[in-house]
């Protein structure tokens, strides 16, 4: 009698589930790949007008650019080994910038450019600069013809000039006191006066940062120099900060303090010598707040040795309040609906900083939690966004 054919054993349940799971994973992976591909394609399409600039250790590529007037987007790719900044310069004036672009990463800079020739920085301050040529367009010609009367802005601009003069004088006084403490060898007094001098500088920083050479001498961090803290060209506030709080040593520091005093004195002269177009009164404050939100608040890199960042943030807030105060009469007439939003953002940022006050000063920034830093950044960004609506409301956008 023939043996019956053997019956085929059914696969174990665990195996069946494994096969089914593999199929599901493959389907999901295929779906995710398709979705990612579509998103990447959409991003490439959206960014097809970006101008790509790659920063190498000692140059940027390309170092000669030509773009049409109006809105331009630049994607800055950092292929060097340290964080860098990228700036568009009109003579001594900074038109647009992005700080602290990390190695291996990229940042997008958006700028509204008038026809003309500009310079671009290429990483380290010692690197050769590139060029940017902006060609006129029909739209830029039309915008120039449609420019609103400047008569309405004379009062605000004149008052801002008075503000810059008084605050520059306060800065010179604060740096003079700091210089004296260093000269007399009083380390603890110099440390206390450093925070006061920094706050004075940050009250005029939005305008001071337009002056590229002086701002670099006064305010550049060690990262932007070839030999970092040991580089002879590293001067200004952060060179003093490094000695006062990191080295805790005043040896050889007197010439650096004297140079800073000379530079802030020259800063006042140049601020008052430069005319400020009305379309830049708000934009310089917005740029300053965006840098605070995107870089300074989260990283704590601005005052890495002293951790006095909050004093500077408060100074930046005071500058923003001043600009709103000067433009309030114009906004009341033509864009009163913006004022509640702006005032809410100002008060929210102020409340965030006030919560970190300690006696007559502020908490050390290394004691501020990551969540608190995020809240500071969010409030600064919200204020920048609210202020960004002012120029269009006053007919100044697109200029």
Residue 6 lies in a domain: no
* pLDDT for the residue numbered 201: 98
* pLDDT for the residue numbered 227: 94
Residue 24 lies in a domain: no
351 and 377 part of one domain:
yes
* pLDDT for the residue numbered 279: 87
β-sheet bridge partners, residue 73: 110
Q: How far is CA 246 from the centre of its chain?
A: 25
188 and 55 part of one domain:
no
Structure token digits, residue 283: 């934009």
23 CB-near residues (< 8 Å, 6+ apart): none
Radius of gyration for the chain, computed over Cα atoms and rounded to the nearest angstrom: 27
131 and 167 part of one domain:
no
β-sheet bridge partners, residue 77: 54, 106
Q: Among 81, 109, 135, where does a domain finish? A: 135
Alpha carbons 367 and 280: distance in angstroms, whole number: 35
The parent domain of residue 319 ranges over 150-393
* pLDDT for the residue numbered 39: 41
Alpha carbons 341 and 343: distance in angstroms, whole number: 6
Alpha carbons 13 and 279: distance in angstroms, whole number: 72
Q: What are the backbone angles phi and psi of residue 101, rounded to the nearest 5°?
A: -80, 115
Name the H helices within 184-253.
187-202, 205-208, 212-219, 237-241
305 and 183 part of one domain:
yes
* pLDDT for the residue numbered 146: 56
81 and 180 part of one domain:
no
Give me the CATH number covering residue 124. Answer: 2.60.40.420
Per the CB < 8 A criterion, the answer to whether 179 and 253 are in contact is no
199 and 131 part of one domain:
no
304 and 175 part of one domain:
yes
Residue 184 lies in a domain: yes
Residue 107 lies in a domain: yes
Residue 340 lies in a domain: yes
Q: What are the backbone angles phi and psi of residue 55, rounded to the nearest 5°?
A: -95, 120
* pLDDT for the residue numbered 28: 43
* pLDDT for the residue numbered 92: 75
190 and 271 part of one domain:
yes
Alpha carbons 75 and 106: distance in angstroms, whole number: 7
Q: Among 135, 167, 193, where does a domain finish? A: 135
Residue 30 lies in a domain: no
Alpha carbons 169 and 204: distance in angstroms, whole number: 11
77 and 156 part of one domain:
no
Residue 34 lies in a domain: no
Alpha carbons 361 and 349: distance in angstroms, whole number: 17
The count of structural domains within the chain is 2
Alpha carbons 96 and 180: distance in angstroms, whole number: 36
Give me the CATH number covering residue 335. Answer: 1.20.1420.20
87 and 225 part of one domain:
no
Alpha carbons 162 and 175: distance in angstroms, whole number: 20
278 and 306 part of one domain:
yes
Per the CB < 8 A criterion, the answer to whether 129 and 121 are in contact is yes
Q: Among 135, 162, 195, where does a domain finish? A: 135
Alpha carbons 215 and 288: distance in angstroms, whole number: 13
127 and 199 part of one domain:
no
Alpha carbons 207 and 291: distance in angstroms, whole number: 14
Residue 306 lies in a domain: yes
| Through-space distance between the first and last CA atoms of the chain, rounded to whole angstroms | 101
pLDDT 10s digit of each residue in the chain, 399 long? Answer: 444 444 444 455 544 554 445 444 444 444 443 343 344 334 433 445 899 999 998 888 999 999 999 889 999 999 998 888 889 988 878 888 888 888 999 989 888 888 999 999 888 888 899 999 999 998 877 766 656 666 889 999 999 999 999 999 999 999 999 999 999 999 999 999 999 999 999 999 999 999 989 999 999 999 989 999 999 999 999 999 999 999 999 999 999 999 999 999 999 999 999 888 898 999 999 999 999 999 899 988 899 999 999 999 999 999 999 999 999 999 999 899 999 999 999 999 999 999 999 998 999 999 999 999 999 999 999 999 999 999 999 988 754
């Amino acid at each position: 009698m023939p043996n019956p054919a053997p019956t085929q054993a059914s696969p174990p349940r665990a195996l069946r589930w494994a096969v089914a799971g593999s199929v599901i994973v493959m389907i999901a992976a295929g779906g995710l790949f398709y979705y990612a591909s579509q998103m990447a394609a959409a991003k490439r399409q959206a960014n097809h007008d970006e101008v790509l600039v790659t920063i190498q250790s000692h140059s940027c590529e390309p170092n000669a650019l030509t773009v049409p007037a109006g809105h331009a987007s630049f994607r800055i790719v950092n292929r060097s080994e340290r964080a860098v900044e990228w700036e568009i310069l009109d003579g001594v004036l900074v038109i647009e910038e992005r700080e602290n672009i990390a190695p291996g990463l990229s940042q997008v800079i958006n700028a509204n450019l008038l026809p003309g020739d500009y310079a671009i920085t290429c990483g380290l301050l010692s690197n050769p600069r590139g060029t940017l040529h902006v060609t006129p367009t029909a739209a830029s010609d039309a915008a120039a013809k449609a420019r609103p009367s400047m008569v309405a802005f004379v009062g605000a601009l004149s008052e801002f000039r008075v503000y810059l003069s008084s605050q520059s004088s306060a800065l010179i006084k604060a740096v003079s006191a700091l210089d004296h403490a260093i000269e007399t060898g009083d380390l603890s007094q110099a440390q206390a006066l450093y925070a006061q001098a920094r706050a004075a500088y940050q009250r005029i920083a939005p305008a001071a940062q337009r002056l590229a050479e002086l701002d670099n001498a006064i305010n550049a961090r060690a990262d932007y120099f070839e030999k970092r803290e040991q580089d002879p060209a590293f001067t200004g506030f952060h060179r003093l900060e490094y000695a006062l709080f990191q080295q805790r040593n005043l040896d050889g520091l007197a010439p650096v303090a004297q140079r800073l005093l000379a530079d802030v004195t020259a800063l006042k002269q140049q601020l008052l010598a430069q005319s400020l177009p009305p379309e830049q009164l708000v934009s310089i404050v917005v740029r300053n707040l965006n840098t605070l939100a995107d870089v300074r608040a989260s990283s704590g890199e601005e005052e890495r040795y002293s951790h006095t960042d909050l004093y500077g943030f408060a100074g930046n807030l005071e500058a923003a309040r001043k600009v709103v105060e000067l433009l309030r009469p114009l906004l009341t007439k033509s864009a009163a609906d913006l004022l509640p939003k702006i005032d809410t953002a100002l008060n929210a940022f102020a409340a965030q900083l006030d919560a970190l006050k300690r006696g007559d000063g502020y908490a050390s920034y290394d004691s501020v939690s990551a969540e608190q830093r995020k809240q500071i950044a969010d409030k600064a960004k919200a204020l920048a966004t609210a202020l960004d609506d002012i120029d269009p409301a006053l007919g100044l956008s697109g200029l």
